[in-house]
Structure 1
Amino acid sequence: MHSLLVIEPAGTENPAEARSSGSPDSILSSCGYVVGTAASPEQAAPLIGDADAFILNLPVTDISSWRALLVRHKVAPVLWWCTPLTSTLSVSACGDDIMVDGILSPAMKSPEIHWMLHFSSRQCFERKQWLKEREQLLSRIEERKWIDMAKGILSQAKKISESEAYDLLRKQAMNERKRIVDVATSIVKVYQMLQDQT
C-alpha cells in the first residue's frame, strides 16, 4: 500500500490541528505514503484510480455516502480518520449501518498506522470475496427455485414423480444444449402464460 486519498471537505479542518501537523495528509505523508486530498466528488474523481486506500476525515454521518461514491469507482479499503471533530456525532450514529475497514487517529504512531492500513486492506478484500460468494449463493438459490417450480409443473402435468421430472428436465437441457435452469425457466414462464390466459 503506497498511495492514499484523504477526503476532507473544505472548511472542516481544524486550524489548530493543521498548525500542529495533526492533519491526516501531514501525518500519513510523514509515514512514507503518497497522499492526495479531495474536498468534493469532482476533486476526488481523478485521484481515485491511483489510491490504494481511502481515508475519510469526516463526521460519522457523512461516511456512508462518501464510501458508496468511492467504492463505486474502485474497490479499496475505506478507513475513518477519528478525531474529536469527526466523532462528535458517533454516539447518535451508532445505530447507522456504517461500513469501514479500519479506523485511524492522529494519536497513532507510524507502525500502528502501517499495521492498520494493511489490516484494513485484508478486511476489504475478504469482504469483497464474501460478497461475491454471497451473490453466487443467491443466484444458485434462485436457480433452484425455478427448477423446483418446473419439476412441480412437470410432475403434475405428466403424472410422474419429482425425480422423474428432474431427469426429464436434465435430458431436455442436454438435448437443447442449455442449462437446466434455462429449460426450467422456459417451462415455468410458458405455464404461467397459459394460466393467465385461462
Structure 2
Amino acid sequence: MHSLLLIQNGRTENDTEARSEHNPGRILEACGYVTWTATGEEQASHFIRDADATLLCMPVTEIELWRQKLLKHKTAPVLWWCTSATADLSVTACGDNVIVDGILSPYMHEQEIHWILHFSSRQCFERQQWHKEKEQLLARIEERKWIDMAKGILSKAKNISESEAYDLLRKQAMNERKRMVDVATSIVKVYQLLQDQT
C-alpha cells in the first residue's frame, strides 16, 4: 500500500491542528505514503482510482454512508482517523453497524501505521472474498429451491418419485442444452400460470 485518500467530509479541523503534527496527511507523508485530500464525493471519486486505501477523518456516525459511496467507485480498504475531534460521541455510537478495516490515530509510530495499513488491506480483501462466497451460496440455495419445486410438480403430475423427477429434469436440461435451474424455473412458472387460470 503506497497511497491514501483522506476524506474530511467538507469539514476541515481547525487551522492549528491542520498545521500541527496531528494532521493525517503530514503524518502519512512522513511515513512515506502519497496522500490526496477530498472534502466531497466528487473530489473523492476522482482520487479513489489511484488510491490504495481511504482514510475517513470524520465522526464514526458518518463512516458507513461514506463507505457505501466509496464502494460504488472501487473496493479498497477503508480506515478511520480516530482523534478527540472524530471520537467525541457517546459509547452508543459504537453500537452502530460501522465497518472499517483499520483505525489510525495521530499518536501511532511509523511501524504501527505500516502494520495497520498492511492488515487493513488483508482484512478488506478477505471480507470481499467472504461476500462473494456468501453471494454464491445464496444463489445456489435459490437454484435449489426452484429445482425442488419443479421436482415436486413433476413427481405429482407424473406420479413418479422425486429421484425420478430429478433424473427427468436433468435429462430435459441436457436435451435442451440448458442449466437445470432454468428448466426447473420454466416448469414452476408454467405450473403457476396454469394454476392461476383454473
TM bucket, shorter chain:
over 0.9
The 2-side partners of 1:81 and 1:90 are apart by 17
Q: Return 176-185 or 3-12, whichever deviates more.
A: 3-12
The 2-side partners of 1:26 and 1:14 are apart by 15
TM-score (norm 2): 0.97
Q: Aligned residue for 1:34? A: 34
Alignment deviations for residues 56-111 of structure 1 (CA, whole Å, 9 cap, x no partner): 00001110111111111000000000001100115131221100000000000111
Q: Aligned residue for 1:169? A: 169
SS in 2 for 1:93: helix
Q: Residue type matched to 1:8 in 2?
A: Q
Aligned length: 198
The 2-side partners of 1:10 and 1:182 are apart by 49
The 1-side partners of 2:187 and 2:143 are apart by 13
- CA separation of 1:131 and 1:50: change in aligned 2, threshold 3 A: same
CA RMSD after TM alignment:
1.0
The 2-side partners of 1:22 and 1:29 are apart by 12
The 1-side partners of 2:63 and 2:185 are apart by 41
Q: Kindly report which structure 2 residues correspond to 1:1-198, keeping only aligned pairs within 5 A, or say none.
A: 1-89=1-89, 91-198=91-198
Quote the offset at 1:28 in angstroms. 0.5
Q: Residue type matched to 2:81 in 1?
A: W
Identify unmatched segments of 5+ residues in structure 1. none
TM-score (norm 1): 0.97
Alignment deviations for residues 146-172 of structure 1 (CA, whole Å, 9 cap, x no partner): 000000000000000000000000000
The 2-side partners of 1:29 and 1:89 are apart by 28
The 2-side partners of 1:62 and 1:54 are apart by 14
8 Å CA contact retained: 2:9, 2:39: yes
SS in 2 for 1:13: coil
Quote the offset at 1:116 in angstroms. 0.3
Q: Residue type matched to 2:42 in 1?
A: E
8 Å CA contact retained: 2:12, 2:18: no
Q: Residue type matched to 1:151 in 2?
A: K
Quote the offset at 1:33 in angstroms. 0.3
Identity %: 72
8 Å CA contact retained: 1:38, 1:44: yes
The 2-side partners of 1:194 and 1:11 are apart by 61
The 1-side partners of 2:93 and 2:162 are apart by 51
The 1-side partners of 2:134 and 2:101 are apart by 19
The 2-side partners of 1:127 and 1:90 are apart by 28
The 1-side partners of 2:90 and 2:178 are apart by 53
SS in 2 for 1:11: coil
8 Å CA contact retained: 2:8, 2:56: yes
Q: Residue type matched to 1:180 in 2?
A: M
SS in 1 for 2:85: coil
8 Å CA contact retained: 2:49, 2:74: yes
